[in-house]
Structure formats: C-alpha cells, structure tokens
Amino acid sequence: MPETRALRLGIAGPVGTGKSSLIALLCRELGGTIELGVVTNDIYTDEDARMLRAAGVLDPDRIRAVETGACPHTAIRDDITANAIAIEDLESDYPATELVLIESGGDNLTATFSPALVDAQIFVLDVAGGGDVVRKGGPGIARADLLVVNKTDLAPHVGVDADRMRREGEQAREGRPVIALSRNDADSIAALTSWVRHLLARHRHGEHVATDPGPMAPHFHADGTVHAH
C-alpha cells in the first residue's frame, strides 16, 4: 500500500561521530526538493537543535528538541512517547513533511531506535574512533539500515585505513550497505543522498519494512525464522 506518512529516519552513533553534521548535510542537499523536519535528542542541552537552527539549513520551527531526562536510550527505544509526540506535532504543523530525521542522544555503541519510532536508521561511526570499532560490533553497526564511516578525510591523520574500515563494515554487516563519508568528498555525499532518496521512494511505494537492529543478537525461533528483534 502506498505510504503517505512522512518517512522517519533515525541517526544513531557515538557522540562526536558527526550525526548533527550529517543531518545538516542532508538538509542542505535535500531541503530544496524534499520537505524535511528534524527532531534532536540532546542528553544535556538543546545544543544540537540550536546548532542546526544556527546552520540555517532549515526553518528553525521545523527543528524540535526533546529532553530525555538523561535516558537517551529509553527515549528512542522503550518509551518513545516524547519523540513520537514531537514527530506527530511536526507532521501536524507541516502536513507536507516527507522526511523526518531524528538524531539520537545515544552515547555508546548499543543504542538503537525502536521500529515503532523510526522506519529506518543510519548508524554513524568515524575514523577517529579507531579502525577496530567496526570489529567490536554491536546491533547498530551490524544491522542498522545503513552504516556510515564518517570523516574519511581525517583517516591519514589518525593512522586509520578508511577503506579497510569500510570493507570490515561490509563483512560485519553481511552485505548491508556501508558508506565511507566525508563532507569534503562530493562522491560520498552523492552516495548518501542517493541512498536516502531510494529509501524514500521505497517507503512511498510501501516496499520498505522497518526492521529492528535489536540490542539482542540474531537468534532462531522454533518455526525456523531468524530474528534480530
């Protein structure tokens, strides 16, 4: 069935890996052709929302901040109430909204969004976090809809092989997509925006199904199906 509700895309990953920057980038690149909204989940301040408003990439009223009571994981996973209300308000204030980007306030590798809150999620790592982060794994790294290995321009300065990090990401993800991104690399930006546009098209045609990367490892059910929950 064709989907009329806006696509909800979560952006998760450790602090400082470039989630807010990626959202600003998407607003800049897609804002001209797609009606956007943004919800941020700051742990301690409304810094992210203010940074994005100050970046001037989107009407400030379309950027909403949610306080999480120091429970950033809860707010995107088990009690999504505050985020769901923020998204519903955005959609009712701007009914033409097509894509809502939700930045997690998650501060480690285990935080992932509930499929009840987002239709798809991007997990962001950066090369400065070290080449071995991908191998350490975790639900977001292994099973988010997209893994972004960010700031590849910094790789030579931090002694990390960005290409190898991407390859190891692909291995850990069993074929799920990985994009090695840098804001200075136009080709990588094009790959990212094309992934988002493709996802939006699939969502509109009712072809996209939200899946949970889980905090649990994939496991078998008695009927033979495999779940990542």
Q: Under the rule (CB under 5 A), what is the footprint of Mg ion?
A: 19-20, 48
Q: Give the number of other CB atoms < 10 A from CB of residue 229.
A: 13
Among 51, 71, 158, 228, the residue binding another protein under the rule CB under 8 A is 71
User: Count of residues for the chain?
Assistant: 229
Among 74, 110, 193, 211, the residue binding another protein under the rule CB under 8 A is 74
54 sits near another protein (criterion: CB under 8 A): no
75 sits near another protein (criterion: CB under 8 A): yes
107 sits near another protein (criterion: CB under 8 A): no
Tell me if residue 216 falls in helix, strand or coil.
Answer: coil
For residue 30, what is the enclosing H or E element? helix 19-30
Range in contact with another protein (rule: CB under 8 A) among 37-45, 95-103, 166-174, 199-207: 37-45
73 sits near ligand GDP (criterion: CB under 6 A): no
Among 55, 71, 84, 154, the residue binding ligand GDP under the rule CB under 6 A is 154
Applying CB under 8 A, what is the total number of residues that bind another protein? 19
Among candidates 94, 112, 81, 77, which has minimal Cα distance to 37? 94
Residue 43 touches which of another protein, Mg ion, ligand GDP, none (CB < 5 to 8 A by kind)?
Answer: another protein
182 sits near ligand GDP (criterion: CB under 6 A): yes
82 sits near another protein (criterion: CB under 8 A): yes
66 sits near another protein (criterion: CB under 8 A): yes
Residue 82 touches which of Mg ion, ligand GDP, another protein, none (CB < 5 to 8 A by kind)?
Answer: another protein
Report the residue number, 47 or 163, with the smaller CB distance to another protein. Answer: 47
Phi, psi of 102 (to 5 degrees): -115, 115
67 sits near another protein (criterion: CB under 8 A): yes
216 sits near another protein (criterion: CB under 8 A): no
Per-residue DSSP letter, 21: H
Alpha-carbon radius of gyration of the chain: 17
27 sits near another protein (criterion: CB under 8 A): no
Nearby residues of 148 by Cβ (< 8 Å), 6 or more positions away: 13, 18, 22, 122, 123, 124, 125, 178, 179, 180, 181, 192
Whole-Å CA distances, 117 to 58, 169, 172, 211: 22, 25, 25, 11
Among 8, 20, 82, 142, the residue binding ligand GDP under the rule CB under 6 A is 20
Nearby residues of 82 by Cβ (< 8 Å), 6 or more positions away: 66, 67, 68, 75
